[in-house]
Amino acid sequence: MNSILRKAFAVFSIFFVALFLVNSESLAKTKKDKIKPEELITKHLESIGTSEARNAITSMMSVGRSKVVFKGRGTGTTEGLVVIASQAEKNMIGMKFRNPDYQYEAMGYDGEDFSVGYAKAGVRSTLGGFLRLNEKTFKSGILGGVLSTSWELLKYDKKRGRIKYKGTETIDGVELVKFEYNPRKGSDLDVMMFFDAQNFRHMRTEYKRVISSGLGRSVGANGRVNSRVDNSAQQSETRYKMVENFGDFKVVNGLNLPHQYNLYLEILTGNGSTAYDWKMSLQQFYFNQELGAEQFRVDNVQ
């Protein structure tokens, strides 16, 4: 009997030792694979271009075609033009469409104030309302990614915001490294940045926000946030998700820049879902042109 117990003990001892070794190896691999913010910044900047090429740019403007698809209670498609411009911390994205009910989409930051244009006279779009609701996040220089000179990671400073490693995720067959971003002044949005695990190009940014049912909040046609206390039984939470995707990278003026920029907004409520998908194909890039601050104020666009 003692012999049998000794053999059983020996087997279990070997099993636990093996389990410990496997777990230790797995833990070591996790620690090894974890990417520090400083390492990400260095590799990401290298993916854009040399320091000389990056520092030579004082302003950037890209022009191309835009197409938006509406999904949800109503569906439709409309096409137009897009302009993305930036100078230092100032940035602007503007689209003009051949649609009398949806003529413009514009958002801009002039270094002090964030502004949103009108979709048509006196009426802001759903995207405009969402951006105004979360404007303090979009003042931080993350919208548009490397298509803007205000891109937060070009001059990363922990005093302005912090990034934190969150593992990896495979999207559309591509392994991406995830980093959570938190601006110093705080944000009501959960912001996650995704980088190609092989070359560290910025491929995607996700913005998420949930507004609870206890306090009814809505974005009116004028872009203002309206709040009201309602019977929560008649309410349901509202979920916002906005996604930027970047692709078709090509070298222009020494910089490796995306020529395809997609912006997606989805809103889920108790009454259903609504989604908007903007696809922008950038064809021409212009650098180091002098741009006035007034060109980044877009609330007069209508």
CA dist 248 and 257 (Å) reads 8
- What domains are there in the chain, each with its CATH number? 35-296 (2.50.20)
Structure tokens at 115: 């502004």
Strand order in the sheet with 114-116: 114-116, 104-109, 90-97, 76-87, 59-71, 272-287, 255-269, 238-252, 202-211, 190-196, 174-183, 161-171
Percent of the chain predicted with pLDDT > 90: 65
The reported pLDDT for the residue numbered 228 is: 40
CA dist 110 and 9 (Å) reads 72
Residue type, 195: F
Residue 32 and residue 58 in contact, taking contact as beta carbons nearer than 8 Å? no
CA dist 147 and 249 (Å) reads 11
The reported pLDDT for the residue numbered 218 is: 45
**pLDDT surpasses 70 at 169:** yes
**pLDDT surpasses 70 at 119:** yes
**pLDDT surpasses 60 at 234:** no
Q: Where are the alpha helices (DSSP H) in the chain?
A: 2-33, 37-48, 51-55, 126-133, 135-138
Contacts of 234 (CB under 8 A, 6+ apart): none
Residue with tokens 């003042």: 139
Burial letters for 57-76: b for 16+ Cβ neighbours within 10 Å, e otherwise? bebbbbebebbbebeeeeee
The reported pLDDT for the residue numbered 187 is: 80
Structure tokens at 295: 């060109």
CA dist 296 and 302 (Å) reads 15
What mean pLDDT comes out for the span 167-183? 95
**pLDDT surpasses 50 at 281:** yes
pLDDT of 69-94, one tens digit each? 998 766 889 999 999 999 999 999 99
Residue 126 and residue 267 in contact, taking contact as beta carbons nearer than 8 Å? yes
Using a cut of 0.85, tell me whether the model's pTM lies above it: no
Minimum mean pLDDT range among 99-113, 182-196, 223-237: 223-237
Q: Provide the pLDDT confidence category of residue 183 given band limits of 50, 70 and 90.
A: confident
Q: Provide the pLDDT confidence category of residue 161 given band limits of 50, 70 and 90.
A: confident
The reported pLDDT for the residue numbered 232 is: 45
